[in-house]
């Protein structure tokens, strides 16, 4: 049985407060060119467990090494993340002049002087997909995203995962929609708690897939997740990193709508193979879907394609086919960004009913299952172009 208190402690513990005295001591103890780093700090500020540093450093310094060492050292004092804004100046070692132990010149970072000979500020860039190592047990990680809510993203994600499984693949689902987790309900495992082994979650089995959601850790469907961005992104990383995922061909991640903290954290810290963008043909939905695609481009995540949901509605009484949300929106979006249109899905009552019952269309094998199978086949056809390289000799 799961230890509920232990799980709550993992997710609901307060962020550790940064110890000011320990911080100052660390700034005295860490040296650059035989000087304490505090002499190079122009300004620093704390935001929760995030430390922002403005530094002026000699140009012969390895900035990445300093960031790594400071992160490791200050983590013990409650610092969860360090952001460094660095201005480089010419080192006296490089000029051949005798080194004197004097404080580096400080400048007003806000002042604008067009005639200044000061070197430009060098900001440490956030990590990108190129910096993230592949997961040792997961071949492909696919994120299913939308620029806005209400376009059927979660229903689409669940059915795509089941369709990939039907193609003979080993599939898992991570519900990253922290604020509105619906995957457990759609897969009939609402209220089921994951077990813990060696401080790791053991995924829940749903129709043969390994799944995990924050919804499985809450007390009930009515329990709100009222967390700020930093806590929500921390929960996502715990769900991903502290879960004993089995060997998988695909891990499908159901993303929250929008382009906020969770999406950016995922793009920087989880090895994503590619993204599937879900939209409706409606103009407003397309505008938000464009923002999603642009975000993936900026974070170096390939877009596998677009799924146009709610494309057509067939009246159950008279059989009339109507384009309620317009037509051709998803197709035009795919053309504009030169990505495939993976498929079109109808607006159908039965798709919604099956998801509500915890038995999605692919499991029910209803008349709409073929649409999802077609999308899964298109994903499988294109995924090889974007696959991340795995070390086949790795044993852990």
DSSP state of 366: -
- The token duo for 378 is 């298109």
- The token duo for 36 is 């304490």
Mark residue 271 as left, alpha or beta (left: phi above 0; alpha: psi -120 to 50; beta: remaining).
beta
Tokens 């969770």, residue located: 262
> With contact defined as beta carbons under 8 Å apart, do 232 and 262 qualify?
yes
Cα distance between the two ends of the chain: 27
Among 40-49, 74-83, 111-120, 332-341, top mean pLDDT goes to 332-341
- The token duo for 131 is 């910096």
* pLDDT of res. 229: 62
pLDDT digits (tens, 9 = 90+) for 141-198: 999 998 777 888 999 999 999 999 999 999 999 998 877 889 999 999 998 999 989 8
pLDDT digits (tens, 9 = 90+) for 76-134: 677 777 888 888 888 765 555 444 444 445 445 445 555 545 555 555 556 677 778 88
């Amino acid at each position: 049985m799961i230890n509920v208190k232990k799980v709550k402690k993992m997710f609901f513990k307060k962020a550790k407060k940064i110890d000011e005295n320990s911080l100052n001591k660390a700034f005295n103890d860490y040296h650059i060119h035989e000087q304490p780093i505090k002499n190079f700090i122009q300004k620093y500020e704390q935001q929760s467990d995030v430390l922002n540093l403005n530094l002026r450093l000699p140009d012969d310094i390895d900035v990445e090494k300093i960031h790594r060492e400071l992160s490791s050292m200050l983590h013990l004092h409650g610092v969860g993340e360090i952001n460094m804004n660095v201005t480089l100046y010419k080192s006296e070692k490089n000029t051949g002049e005798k080194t004197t132990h004097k404080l580096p010149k400080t400048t007003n970072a806000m002042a604008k002087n067009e005639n200044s000979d000061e070197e430009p500020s060098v900001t440490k860039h956030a990590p990108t997909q190129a910096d993230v190592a592949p997961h040792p047990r997961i071949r492909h990680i696919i994120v299913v995203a939308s620029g806005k809510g209400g376009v059927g993203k979660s229903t689409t994600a669940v059915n795509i995962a089941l369709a990939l499984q039907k193609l003979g693949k080993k599939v898992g689902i991570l519900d990253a929609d922290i604020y509105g987790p619906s995957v457990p309900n759609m897969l009939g495992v609402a209220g089921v708690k994951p077990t813990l082994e060696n401080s790791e979650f053991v995924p829940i089995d749903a129709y043969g897939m390994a799944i995990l959601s924050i919804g499985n850790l809450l007390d009930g469907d009515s329990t709100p997740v009222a967390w700020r961005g930093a806590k929500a992104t921390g929960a996502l990383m715990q769900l991903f990193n502290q879960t004993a995922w089995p060997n998988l061909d695909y891990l499908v991640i159901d993303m929250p709508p929008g382009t906020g903290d969770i999406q950016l954290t995922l793009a920087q810290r989880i090895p994503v193979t590619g993204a599937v963008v879900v939209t409706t043909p409606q103009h407003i939905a397309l505008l938000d879907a464009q923002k999603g695609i642009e975000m993936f481009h900026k974070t170096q995540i390939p877009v596998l394609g677009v799924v146009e949901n709610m494309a057509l509605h067939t009246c159950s009484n008279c059989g009339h086919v109507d384009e309620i949300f317009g037509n051709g929106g998803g197709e035009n979006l795919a053309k504009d960004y030169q990505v495939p249109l993976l498929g079109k899905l109808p607006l159908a009552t039965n798709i919604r009913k099956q998801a509500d019952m915890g038995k999605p269309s692919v499991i029910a094998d209803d008349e709409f299952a073929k649409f999802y199978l077609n999308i899964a086949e298109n994903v499988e056809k294109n995924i090889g172009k974007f696959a991340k390289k795995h070390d086949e000799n790795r044993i852990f």
